[in-house]
Amino acid sequence: MAHEGDFHSLLQRSSVAGIVPLQLEEREGRLNENIEVHGTTVIAVKYDRGVINIGDRRATANMTVMYDRAEKVLALDDYTLLAISGSYARAMEVVRYLRHSFKYFERSQLQPMSLDGKLSELARVIAQGLPLAMQGIGGFIPILSTYDIQSNEGRIFFYDGMGARFESAEYGAAGSGSQPIRGIFDYIVKIKKPFHQMNREEALREALLLLGIAADLDTATGGYYVVPPLAKTITAEGITDVGEDELRELIASLPGRN
């Protein structure tokens, strides 16, 4: 006779035997249908006054376009931007956490968190999500851009899936559309000039062109064909949105877009 605490045996002897496994199978099927929404391509490039971040507005779930107004370039504080690709839900959770963490540190310690502290905090939350990411849930890859007041320059950092961080001298890109355009960044730097020597309009124009090429080569990237991308700059004065009218004007002037 089964022990009173043997719930599985109780179900087998009851009139509901056989129903529970079916319900579990149906539930599993519903969970499998609940595919994560992902952000796609984000780009960060330096320019002579700081850093420009742009991201297309498309969010996808498998082969379906779920949303075309997604915001993938988000401010963490007055001098820090996070451009996100991968799991949109996980990215929003991390952004909320980092905003709270930075503000709490500033209020409790009566000084802003150091740049190294911010970078380490982001690395820690990426690493914490690794077990789920390895199961195909919640994986995301960010680019962190900041204006370093101490060194008086814009800086770009990117991460791998385990939280290791790297600093880029000129640019960063993440998301499904970033792979096909990686070589083009180097081509621009070598044939034209380094991004950090470009003015704002030059750097923004190159970033938009790169995003358009990514959209041509990657079906998950929306580019700027329907909705203008989201673009922000970060300088010694802080973070500023690039207006939609300016973006549309620049997009119209790009090669092959007339």
Would you please indicate which residues are annotated as catalytic (active-site) residues? 40
Tokens of 24: 């579990």
Q: Are strands 73-77 and 64-67 parallel, antiparallel or unpaired?
A: unpaired
Instruction: For tokens 């599993």, name the residue.
Output: 28
- The rounded distance, in Å, linking the Cα atoms of 202 and 194 is 11
Kindly report the backbone phi and psi dihedral angles of residue 51, in degrees, each rounded to the nearest multiple of 5, phi listed first: -135, 140
The contacts found for 179-188 with CB under 8 angstroms, 24 or more apart, are 179/218, 180/213, 180/214, 180/217, 180/218, 181/210, 181/213, 181/214, 181/217, 184/210, 184/213, 185/45, 185/210
Backbone angles phi, psi at 76, to 5 degrees: -95, -35
CB 221, CB 177: distance < 8 Å = yes
Q: Is the dihedral of CA 66, 159, 242, 209 positive or negative?
A: negative
Instruction: Please state the φ and ψ torsions of residue 145, each to the nearest 5 degrees.
Output: -120, 145
Taking the CB of residue 45, how many other CB atoms lie within 10 A of it? 29
